[in-house]
Amino acid sequence: MAGQSNATEASGWPDIPYPAWQETCTALHLYTQIVGKYRLARTPWVNHSWHVALYVNARGLTTSLVPDGPAGGIEITFDFIDHAVVGSGNDGAIERFALTPMSVATFHSRFLELIRALGGTADLHGRPNEIPNAVPFAEDRAIRPYDAGAVARFYRALIQIDRVLQHFRTGCIGKVSPVHLFWGSFDLAVTRFSGRRAPLHPGGIPGLPDEVTQEAYSHEVSSAGFWPGGGAIDYPAFYSYAYPAPQGFSQVRVAPGEAFYSAELGEFLLPYDAVRMARDPAAALMGFLQSTYEAAATLGGWQREALESKLGEPRRPRPL
């Protein structure tokens, strides 16, 4: 078992047990909310809240360019290699502060100072979303740990997961989301759409206005992604769900064998460790993504011939 674990580490699929870095993960989740809310405050609304998300990049997570600042744009990066928050203006200005043990209130204050130093607008919504009994950022003064090693391993996992999700995304020629990290629920996700309107979502997500939820689920979706852990599960896992879930969806057998349907969450789950320990982790994850999507699309009566294509390959245009 030790030899197999070492092999998966070497292949880029690190061990990221949630309990070992739970407190750091919770802090990082809140920090991404603060940075994400800056992007939300300055960016015109895009369908399904795609304008708020973060993206995996060569250093960690990025907002991409936010329309703000004296030269028209500021980008914020969580640098998980040097463990810092870096703000870059397109006038060449750069500001940063280190990611170390601190309170959420301290992170919030330092981040607003960074935005001001770049000439940006230091104004954002001050309370976490999608977290029950959330404490406003400026009032959350408990010191949080920062386990740099655990964050680095999490980032290495995100690189591998993002790569597979990006490849899976290429099999859809219909409407499909970017691969992005939603800081509200702290999951890396990709979503395919049938093209049809969905029933009005009932809302009720803690700390999230119903109008936001209802706009996000305005159309039928098959969505999949990755959580590092937390909430109803205390381990990292992949998920896949359909909205609305078609009849019989929960009874479908999907790949690989370790995947299962959670009645509590209303979606399929696949433990990250089942992928990490697989002979071919990318193929195992792709099997989960494809089989759960096919269950949603087939049972939901999607016009699959108009929405699907072979997975993309480098330097090869899609066949007509």
Q: pLDDT digit string (tens) for 193-222?
A: 999 999 999 999 988 999 999 999 999 999
- Assess whether 300 and 240 both reside in one domain: yes
What Rg do the C-alpha atoms of the chain give, in angstroms?
20
- Assess whether 194 and 115 both reside in one domain: no
Give the mean pLDDT of 131-156: 96
State the average pLDDT for the chain. 95
- Assess whether 96 and 83 both reside in one domain: yes
Q: What is the pLDDT of residues 269-300, one digit of tens each?
A: 999 999 999 999 999 999 999 999 999 999 99
Q: Which residues contact 15 (CB under 8 A, 6 or more apart)?
A: 5, 8, 9, 153, 273, 276
Above 60 in pLDDT, residue 136? Answer: yes
Identify the pLDDT of residue 132.
Answer: 85
Q: What is the pLDDT of residues 85-97, one digit of tens each?
A: 999 999 999 999 9
- Assess whether 80 and 182 both reside in one domain: no
Give the mean pLDDT of 262-270: 97
Question: What percentage of the chain has pLDDT greater than the value 70?
Answer: 97
Identify the pLDDT of residue 7.
Answer: 47
Above 80 in pLDDT, residue 119? Answer: yes
12 band by pLDDT with thresholds 50, 70 and 90:
confident
> What domain count does the chain have?
2
Nearest to 34 by CA among 120, 146, 97, 127: 127
User: Which residues span the domain enclosing 231?
Assistant: 149-307
1: tokens are 């078992």
In a domain, 162, yes or no: yes
Q: Would you state the torsion angle of the CA atoms of residues 83, 131, 107, 60, taken in this order, to the nearest 10 degrees? A: 20
Q: What is the Cα–Cα distance from 23 to 305, expressed in whole angstroms?
A: 46
Above 90 in pLDDT, residue 234? Answer: yes
Quick one: DSSP state of residue 136?
Answer: P
Q: What is the pLDDT of residues 39-94, one digit of tens each?
A: 999 999 999 999 999 999 999 999 999 999 999 999 999 999 999 999 999 999 99
| Of the residues 126, 144, 162, the one at which a domain ends | 144
In a domain, 138, yes or no: yes
In a domain, 207, yes or no: yes
Above 50 in pLDDT, residue 1? Answer: no
| Of the residues 82, 114, 144, the one at which a domain ends | 144
In a domain, 5, yes or no: no
Q: Residue written as tokens 């870096």? A: 86
Q: What is the Cα–Cα distance from 223 to 131, expressed in whole angstroms?
A: 21
